[in-house]
Amino acid sequence: MPFPLRSTLLGSLCCAALLGCSHQPASETVTTSPSAVRFILFGDSGYHYDYLKDTIRNNPQDMAAYLADEQHSWLKKGLPAADFTPPPAHQLNEQQVIEASGLYPVAAAMTSHCRQQGCDLALMMGDNIYPAGADGSAADARRFEAILDQPFRPLLASDDDFRIYAMLGNHDWQTSRAGRDAQVQWFNAADNPQMVLPEPGFYSFTRGDAEFFILDTNLLLAATDVLDDRLNPDGSEVQHAQREQADPWLLPQGREQEQLSWFKQAIRESPARWKIVAGHHPLWTSGGTKFEQARALRRLLLPTLCDYADMYLAGHEHDLEIHTDACGENQPPLPVIVSGAASKQRPVHTSFQQYQRSHYPQYREIWLRGMSWGFTRIELNGEQADVTMITTPDDGSGAVQQAFQVSFPRRH
């Protein structure tokens, strides 16, 4: 394995969907009990009021205009008008209302949860910085402090052995390779020993009975064909041949070109009892705007995942989702968990979901929750993985609300 990061990982997951669910490149060693691995995952956390899109900052709007704009966007996506639910609002100043951020409320909820229930580590699922990542300038230091450091200090302080293992999302890559490099360098600084993101951005580590494989799915998708997402008004997919164009700095270079072959060999040779794979982009998605990336990623990863992995984890969609993929004959279904609601709220596209359920027999929807802030807890206990979806209210209090539980058996 040319790019391993070794540590010891702890967690526990919930019962398997199609088999009958119950609804309820460095080295590191952390000493923990091998009997369970307890971890949380949170994605798309990097939305902060000091760093807004120019189109938002330069166009002030009051509450009425904010709600009208959100409703227009809702209808433009083909979502039912009767279901319209705006994200919570934040009064930025006297002239401007903007979408509220869940960054600090979700961080507070995770800290409270882990202090009460115990957590061994967290997975940071990418899009750690909005709206367009770092840029490699001196101004990055203040931004890293506000978005990557301050929100998670209390969580890290809960246990010296606690680690946040990060990955990169599309927004982290958006400005340039220099911006991406600046973020990775921050994670590797000597004063951030509990924040982990080694070069080249994909790696593996172990805790207890589990090995975790962290992928940079941005690089995988940049090197393959991905179609634009297009839906008909009824939520069905538009058949076309228009391809996405990847930014040139996203094309894999050097060791990055070996990511897929490294992953296939590493997971095949892993002796771990549990094999957990995580990447920013999902294999299945319910929002109606990222399904072509999911389809392309299934082509690249699903055969290997079905043969060796126990679970695939992702962010990218700003909601909470649990699906399974049937993985073909004579194989147990693969759980797919999406946890991207750590700072923004987006809806589930109900008509697109209806289309997916009727057109993809290998796909099964277990549970979806849009228009919420939240994160996911997973416990790996012996032969069972317990998954708990946790939300926190729009009032910003950071209260912990258990929304759903399901269990999956170990697949291999």
Q: What is the pLDDT of residues 242-254, one digit of tens each?
A: 999 999 999 999 9
Q: Tell me the HSE value of 202 on the side-chain side, using a 13 A CA sphere.
A: 26
Residues 69 and 15 grouped into a single domain: no
- Whole-number pLDDT of residue 34: 53
Residue where a domain stops, chosen among 100, 129, 163 = 100
The residue type at 76? K
Please state which of the ranges 12-26, 169-183, 341-355 shows the lowest mean pLDDT: 12-26
Find the mean pLDDT for residues 190-207. 93
Domain ranges, residue 68: 50-100
Residues 88 and 204 grouped into a single domain: no
333 DSSP 8-state letter: P
Q: Which two tokens stand for residue 213?
A: 């494989």
Residues 60 and 128 grouped into a single domain: no
Do strands 96-99 and 121-124 pair parallel, antiparallel, or not at all (unpaired)? Answer: unpaired
Residues 73 and 177 grouped into a single domain: no
Residues 38 and 127 grouped into a single domain: yes
DSSP 117-134: H--SEEEE-S--STTT--
What predicted TM-score, i.e. pTM, was given to this entire model?
0.91
Find the mean pLDDT for residues 158-179. 95
Residues 60 and 164 grouped into a single domain: no
- Whole-number pLDDT of residue 203: 98
Residues 180 and 114 grouped into a single domain: yes
Does an H or E element contain 380, and which? strand 373-381
Phi, psi of 337 (to 5 degrees): -110, 130
Judge contact between 85 and 128, C-beta under 8 A.
Answer: no
Nearest by Cα to 165 from 173, 155, 175, 174: 155
Per-residue confidence at 158, pLDDT binned at 50, 70, 90? confident
Q: What is the 3-state secondary structure (H, E, C) of 241-306?
A: CCECCCCHHHCCCHHHHHHHHHHHHHHHHCCCCEEEEECCCCCCCCCCCCHHHHHHHHHHHHHHHH
Cα separation values, 117 from 11, 34, 253, Å: 12, 17, 42
- Whole-number pLDDT of residue 191: 82
Q: Is the pLDDT of residue 269 over 70?
A: yes
- Whole-number pLDDT of residue 36: 87
Residues 93 and 145 grouped into a single domain: no
- Whole-number pLDDT of residue 35: 67
pLDDT digit string (tens) for 33-92? 456 899 999 999 999 999 999 889 888 999 999 999 999 999 998 898 989 999 999 999
Q: Which two tokens stand for residue 137?
A: 């300038």
The residue type at 237? E
Q: What distance in Å separates the CA atoms of residue 193 and residue 213, rounded to the nearest whole number?
A: 20
Judge contact between 164 and 122, C-beta under 8 A.
Answer: yes
Q: What distance in Å separates the CA atoms of residue 136 and residue 178, rounded to the nearest whole number?
A: 5
Cα-Cα-Cα-Cα dihedral sign, residues 229, 232, 233, 236: negative
Number of domains in the chain: 2
Q: Is the pLDDT of residue 190 over 80?
A: no
* Residue 273: CATH number of its domain: 3.60.21.10
DSSP 328-346: STTSPPEEEEEE--SS---
Q: What distance in Å separates the CA atoms of residue 321 and residue 336, rounded to the nearest whole number?
A: 8
Residues 186 and 96 grouped into a single domain: no
The residue type at 18? L
Burial class, 295, CB count within 10 angstroms (exposed 0-12 / middle 13-18 / buried 19+): middle
Does an H or E element contain 74, and which? helix 63-76
Residues 60 and 86 grouped into a single domain: yes
Q: Which two tokens stand for residue 236?
A: 């069905």
Cα separation values, 105 from 33, 66, 233, 335, 362, Å: 30, 22, 35, 28, 36
Residues 199 and 130 grouped into a single domain: yes
Residues 195 and 319 grouped into a single domain: yes
Q: What angle do CA 121, 166, 133 make, to 5 degrees?
A: 145
Q: Is the pLDDT of residue 4 over 50?
A: no
Whether a cis peptide bond, with omega within 30° of 0, leads into 248 is no
Q: What distance in Å separates the CA atoms of residue 124 and residue 174, rounded to the nearest whole number?
A: 18
Q: Which two tokens stand for residue 172?
A: 């982290």
Find the mean pLDDT for residues 271-289. 97
Q: What distance in Å separates the CA atoms of residue 356 and residue 345, rounded to the nearest whole number?
A: 22
Q: Is the pLDDT of residue 123 over 90?
A: yes
